[in-house]
Structure 1
C-alpha cells in the first residue's frame, strides 16, 4: 500500500515548554516523575488492517491489538503488560521506563544500550517506577510473596530499547484479577510518581484528553486469568480524525530536548508503517480485536 507521511515535529515547541515547566515543578517538590505526551495528527485516513499488518512485521511488542468499537478504531504494539494474573492467583507486572533508540545498526545499538544502562537519569526514572509497582502489588498480594524477578534488563521494542523489570506476587484465596488490576492501573510507567500529583501535572501540560492512550486492552477469562496490555505505540481514529501519541517520563534530571527526541523514537515505531486508504471498504467489519493470538478487548 501507499505509505502515509506524518510530521513528527507537530507540537514540538509546546512539548519542549511543557517538559521544562514540569521539571521546575519536580524541583519545587510537587512530584518525582510524570509522563507527559504529545499528539501528532495523521493527515489522511489510513487502512487500519494493512497498517497493523505492516507494523506487526516491523515491531517486537509484548502484545498487539487491532480494534474497532464504539466509533473508535485503533491498533498498537504494546511494549508492556500492566498486569497478568493466572488461575493460581499469581500476579505479574512489567514496568518499562528508560529509553534509547533501536536503529538496526548492531554496534550503534550496543553503544546506546550501554549508555542507557549507565545514565543516572534513566536509572532513577526506572527505579522509582519499580518501587511503585512493588508497593502497589503488596496491596492485593500477600506481601511476603511480592518480589522483583527481573531488574533492569533491556527489552527491544520496535524502534526503541527500554529498561525493563518484572514484579510478581500471589493473591490470597478468594481474591480476583480485578483487585490486581485496580491496584496497578493507571500504570505508573504512563502516569508518574506519586500518581495523584502526576495526574494533576498531566492535566496541566497535555493539550488534549488521553482517550485510549495509556489505557489497557485486555483478555479476561472465567478461570480468573487476566492479561492487560498497556495502550502505547498506537494509532487512533475517531470522529474523522486520525492521530498518533507518545510520551516520555520526566524526572528532575530530564532535558527537554532529549524527552522530545524520545517521543520521536517512540512515534516512529508506528509512523513508519502507516498505509493509506485506497477506498472505504478497508474498515474492520466488527468490534473484535485481532492480534496473532494475543488479547482481544472485552466485548
Structure 2
C-alpha cells in the first residue's frame, strides 16, 4: 500500500511516537542526506513476529539460519564484541548494559518513506489510520543527568602516549581508542532524548532502536556496509574537524581537514584495511576505491569519508560477507587483530553495541548497516545510561588534541542534556 502525504515530517513524528507503543521497534532516518547509494529516506519497523538473540560463540551462524528462514524484512544490530567469535579475542571490561551481542527481529508492520510517498506492509490500512490519528504527547522536560567518565583527561592523554609507544615498536599503525561516559540510577524519556539529539545533530544514519526495555539512541553519520544488487559498499570515516558559524572560517576548516597530514594518514590506513577486508568477499579484481578523502559536513562536524566497493562472490551469503568485514575498520585500527587486542587492554569498559552496527536485510536481497557512534545506550531496567567516544591514534597524534576531538564528538549529546563537560 503506497500513500502520499502532504506533510511528511508530521507523519514521521506521529509514526515514531506510534512505534514506541510496540514492544519492539526500529526507526531509521536519513534526514534528507542523499548519496548515490541512498535507497529510503526513512524506515519504520514495529512489532515482533519472531526474533533471534545471541552472544559471541555461534551468533553469526544463528543469524544466517534466521535470515535463511525469514527472507523478507529483518531488522537488528550487531555488537562490537562479536569480534570474539570472529577472532581469538575476549572482552573482560566493565559492562553495565547487559545488551546481547546480536539481536534481530522480523517486524509485524514496516513503513518505508521516499520523498512524500509512504509504503506500508502488514495491516496496511489500519496502520495508516492509526498513525494519522495518533496524537503524540510531546515531553519537553529532561531529568538532570550528570555523566561520569572512565578516564580523567590526564589518564586519557597518558594512555594515548602508551598506545603511541606500541606504534613506535611496530605493533600497530593506527587504532581507535575509546572512552565511556556514563550515568547510573538515571531515568530518561528515550524518545524525547532521540528527538532532541536529532534536532541538534541530524545525520544520514540516525536510528532509534527499542527492544525488551533497552534502547539505542543513535546519531551516526557513518555507513558500515551496504549491498545494492551484487555490489557491496563500505564508507569509512576517519578525519574530523569542528564546524564554525562564520562561512569563511568554516570553509578554511574544511581545507585544513582535507590537507592535514595526520587526518589523511589515518583515513588512507583505514581505507587500505577496508579494501583488504572486502577482498575476502569480493569477486577477484573488483575491489576499488570510488572516492578517497571526500568531505561531508554535518551540523556539529566536518568528516573525511572514503568509499570502497566490490562485487560480492556468488558463493557467499550476505551474513558471511558482513562477518568477513566485521567489526568495521574505522572503529578498530590496523593491523586489525592487534589493534583490537590492545584496545581491550587499554580501554576500561566493554564497547557492546557501540562500534557495532544497526541495519536491515530487505526482501529484494539488499542490506544496509550503519556504524553505532555518537549514540546513547540505555537499559531502562537497571537505569544505566552510557555513551562512548573515540579518536584515531597514529604516530603523529597529539594526545591533548585527541581528547578534545572526543569532546567535540560528544558535543551534541552534552547539548541534549544541557551539560557542559570539559573535564
Please give the range of the TM-score, normalised by the shorter of the 2 chains. 0.7 to 0.9
The unaligned stretches of length 5 or more in structure 2 are: 1-139
**Superimposed CA distance per residue, residues 117-136 of structure 1 (whole angstroms, 9 cap, x where no aligned partner):** 12111110000001111111
Asked whether the equivalents of residues 93 and 168 of structure 1 are also in contact (C-alpha less than 8 Å), the reply is yes
Instruction: Indicate the SS of the match to 2:314.
Output: coil
User: How many residues are treated as equivalent by the alignment?
Assistant: 275
Quick one: which of 135, 150, 159 aligns to 2:291? 150
Change (3 A) 1:275 1:226: farther
Give the aligned partner of residue 252 of structure 1. Answer: 395
What are the within-5 Å matches in structure 2 for residues 19-168 of structure 1?
19-42=160-183, 44-86=186-228, 88-168=229-309
Match of 2:285, SS state, is helix
Q: Deviating runs (4+, > 3 A) in structure 1?
A: 2-10
Contact 2:149 2:180 in 1 (8 A): no
Aligned-pair distance for 1:213?
Answer: 0.7
Deviation at 1:105, TM superposition (A): 3.1
The gaps in structure 1 that reach 5 residues or longer are 277-299
1:206-227 deviations in whole A, cap 9, x for unaligned?
1111111101111012432111
More deviation, 167-176/124-133: 167-176
Residue 292 of structure 1 corresponds to: none
Distance in structure 2 (CA, Å) of the matches to 1:62 and 1:143? 31
- Give the alignment's TM-score, normalised by structure 2: 0.62
State the match for 2:154 in structure 1: 13
- How far 1:159 sits from its partner (Å)? 1.4
Distance 1:63 1:131, change over 3 A: same
* Residue in structure 2 matching 1:2, options 133, 141, 144: 141
Structure 1 residues 244 and 204 mapped into 2: Cα distance closer, same or farther (>3 Å)? Answer: same
Q: Say if 1:146 and 1:169, in contact at 8 Å, map to a contact too.
A: yes
d(CA) in 1 for partners of 2:331 and 2:361? Answer: 22
Q: Distance in 2 between matches of 1:2 and 1:103?
A: 28
Give RMSD over aligned pairs: 2.0
SS in 2 for 1:145: coil
Q: Any residues of structure 2 matched to 1:94-243 within 5 Å, and which? A: 94-238=235-379, 239-243=382-386
* Structure 1 residues 82 and 134: alpha-carbon distance in aligned structure 2, compared to 1, 3 A threshold: same
For the pair shown, the structure with the greater C-alpha radius of gyration is 2
CA separation in 1, counterparts of 2:256 and 2:150? 28
Q: Which moved more, 1:178-187 or 1:29-38?
A: 178-187
TM-score by length of 1: 0.86
Per the alignment, residue 279 of structure 1 pairs with none
Distance 1:119 1:182, change over 3 A: same
Quote the Cα distance in structure 2 between the aligned partners of 1:95 and 1:25: 24
Instruction: Tell me if structure 1 keeps the 8 A contact 2:376–2:386.
Output: yes
Change (3 A) 1:227 1:50: same
Query: How far apart are 1:2 and its partner, in Å?
Result: 3.5
Q: Mean alpha-carbon deviation: is it higher for 259-268 or for 140-149? A: 140-149
